[in-house]
Amino acid sequence: MRGVTILGATGSVGRHTLDVLSRHRNQFQVIALTARVDVEGLFRQCLEHRPRYAVMVEAAPAQQLRERISRQGLDIQVLSGVQALEDVAKLAENDYIMAAIVGAAGLLPTLAAAHTGKRVLLANKEALVMAGQLFMNTIREQGTELIPIDSEHNAIFQCLPSRGRHDAWPAGVCRILLTASGGPFRGWPKEKLREVTPAQACAHPRWSMGRKISVDSATLMNKGLEVIEARWLFNAAPECIEVVVHPQSIVHSLVEYTDGSVLAQLSNPDMRTPIACGLGWPERLEAGVHALDLCALGHLDFEPPDRDTFPCLDLAIQAARVGGSAPVTLNAANEVAVQAFLAERLPFTAIAEVVRHTLEQCPSSTPDSIEAVLECDRRARVIAAAATADAVERMA
């Protein structure tokens, strides 16, 4: 039995992970489940999967969960706080840690998982966006096995030669083709985007995701963050990563070789496929995913991204090329702006403006510790919050 801890169990990736695990109960044991404030969701998961530990980030929800678990007579220890996230990530009983906390909040627990020398299933791209060099150094120093779970990076992982995963850029590889669905507003004119609502931005045409990631997909910021993630995961220079819009989301990414070969990974758009890959690798696990019917599809389309209408993509690629603290600033500003948009305070088109302004106001440095990364993040959020307030006032 392999022990699995899920950081971010009530989110989309966490729920899909538990679905895959439930199909293989003779192979896996759930050790710990964590959530921020979703008491009801985590309680239901505890009833079904009986972990040894349950963690709520905030104290009041943790107490509510503790009382409900006690009334059920379950032998589950309920913990609370950010430190508890790191503690369960480092439990000796873990064989695999699914790092699925969304955003910068997942950085410290994901880094704690990287120190374990176990298998880390990485669904938190911000750990690499914010602290790529520090994170990958830790992976190598600790001998931790890293398998990316984002569908695109998992596809690249499968298409690269084994020596090209997390080591030197392999000889014979030309470039990575990172596919993007184009989001719900592909083909829309720029002037129409100003009136976009959060509900529209969260209605992704192919994937069922959380609200923040759905907005990032709509702005193409998510694809920009994935360029930065791929840069660190695969030792790829930004100029060796090309974004291609593929609206069917069947080809999850491709790798081009110098002999003209292009290897691709295809599957229906279902997160259980990369999750099962990460849990079973190098073997394959049944994931409950419908078989791909290419004849029913009939065709697969590809096109370049509309960089003028969706400027967040180029802002992220620019940050990747600058390096240092620029991706930290980018991510912080985007989180602040997206939160304001979801709260219906900021227009959709102003997200890129806030990010651009924050990048201009935060000169790039080279953070050499996690404390320095967090300080860059803090400073960027202050500037982004001020830029957001200014944008709201101008547009009122």
Q: Is 128 part of a structural domain of the chain?
A: yes
Q: In which domain, by residue range, is 377 found?
A: 323-396
CA dist 250 and 23 (Å) reads 24
Tokens at 222, concatenated: 């998510």
Q: 352 pLDDT exceeds 90?
A: yes
In order, the DSSP letters of 133-159 are HHHHHHHHHHT-EEEE-SHHHHHHHHH
Whether residue 312 is predicted with pLDDT greater than 60 in this model: the reply is yes
pLDDT digits (tens, 9 = 90+) for 74-130: 999 999 999 999 999 999 999 999 999 988 889 999 999 999 999 999 999 999 999
Residues 256 and 349 in one domain: no
Peptide bond into 282 cis (omega under 30): yes
Give, in degrees to the nearest 5, the angle at Cα 32 between 27 and 38: 125
* 303 bridge partner residues: 245
Residue 92 within a domain: yes
pLDDT band at 391 (very low <50, low <70, confident <90, very high): confident
Largest Cα span, the chain: 64
With vertex at residue 380, the alpha carbon angle to CA 375 and CA 89, rounded to the nearest 5 degrees, is 50
Give the mean model confidence (pLDDT) for residues 39-67. 96
Q: Are residues 265 and 350 in the same domain?
A: no
Is 70 exceeded by the pLDDT of residue 396? no
302 and 181 inside one domain = yes
In a domain, 239, yes or no: yes
- Contact between 185 and 208 (Cβ < 8 Å): no
Mean per-residue pLDDT over the chain, rounded? 94
Last residue of a domain, which of 114, 133, 149?
Answer: 149
pTM: 0.93
Does 285 fall in a domain? no
Indicate whether 113 and 141 sit together in one domain.
Answer: yes
Closest CA to 228 of 310, 158, 331: 331
357 pLDDT band, cuts 50/70/90, is: very high
Which of 114, 149, 184 corresponds to the end of one domain? 149
Q: In this predicted structure, what is the pLDDT of residue 38? A: 95
In a domain, 211, yes or no: yes
137, 158: one domain: no
| Percent of the chain residues topping a pLDDT of 70 | 97
The answer on 196 and 102 residing in a single domain is no
Task: Verify that 198 and 76 share a domain, yes or no.
Answer: no
Cα–Cα distance list, 129 to 227, 228, 327 (Å): 9, 6, 6
User: Do 143 and 251 belong to one domain?
Assistant: no
The reported pLDDT for the residue numbered 207 is 63
Residue 237 falls within a domain, yes or no?
yes
On whether both 119 and 190 belong to a single domain, the answer is: no
Residue 60: its pLDDT value, please? 95
Is 80 exceeded by the pLDDT of residue 162?
Answer: no
Burial class of residue 219, CB neighbours in 10 A (0-12, 13-18, 19+): buried
Read off the pLDDT of residues 205-247 as tens digits, 9 standing for 90 and up: 776 677 898 999 999 999 999 999 999 999 999 999 999 999 9
Q: Is the pLDDT of residue 167 over 70?
A: no
pLDDT, position 109: 96
Asked whether residue 350 carries a pLDDT value surpassing 90, the answer given is: yes
The reply to whether 163 falls in a domain is yes
End-to-end Cα, the chain, rounded Å: 58
The fraction of the chain above a pLDDT of 90, given in percent, is 90
Over range 143-155, report the average pLDDT. 96
Q: Mark whether 163 and 297 lie in a shared domain.
A: yes
- Name the domain count of the chain: 3
pLDDT, position 244? 98
- For residue 281, being part of any structural domain is answered with no
Query: Is residue 57 located within the same domain as residue 177?
Result: no
Query: In Å, what is the CA distance from 12 to each residue of 154, 207, 209, 334, 335?
Result: 17, 10, 6, 21, 18
- Please give the pLDDT value at position 169: 80
Q: Cα separation of 131 and 124, whole Å?
A: 12
Least confident piece of the model among 154-158, 210-214, 340-344:
210-214
- pLDDT for the residue numbered 395: 72
Each residue of 253-299: pLDDT tens digit?
999 999 999 999 999 999 999 999 999 999 999 999 999 999 999 99
**326 pLDDT more than 70:** yes
Given 126, 149, 172, the domain boundary residue is 149
User: Which helix (H) or strand (E) element contains residue 6?
Assistant: strand 2-7
* 306 in the same domain as 167: yes
**Distance between CA atoms of residues 175 and 172, nearest Å:** 10
Instruction: Dump the DSSP string for 110-141.
Output: HHHHHTTSSEEEE--THHHHHHHHHHHHHHHH
Number of alpha carbons in the 13 Å side-chain half-sphere of residue 367: 26
Contact yes or no for 221/316 (Cβ under 8 A): yes
10 Å Cβ neighbour count for 170? 16
Q: What is the CATH number of the domain that holds 352?
A: 1.10.1740.10
**Pairing, β 2-7 against β 96-99:** parallel
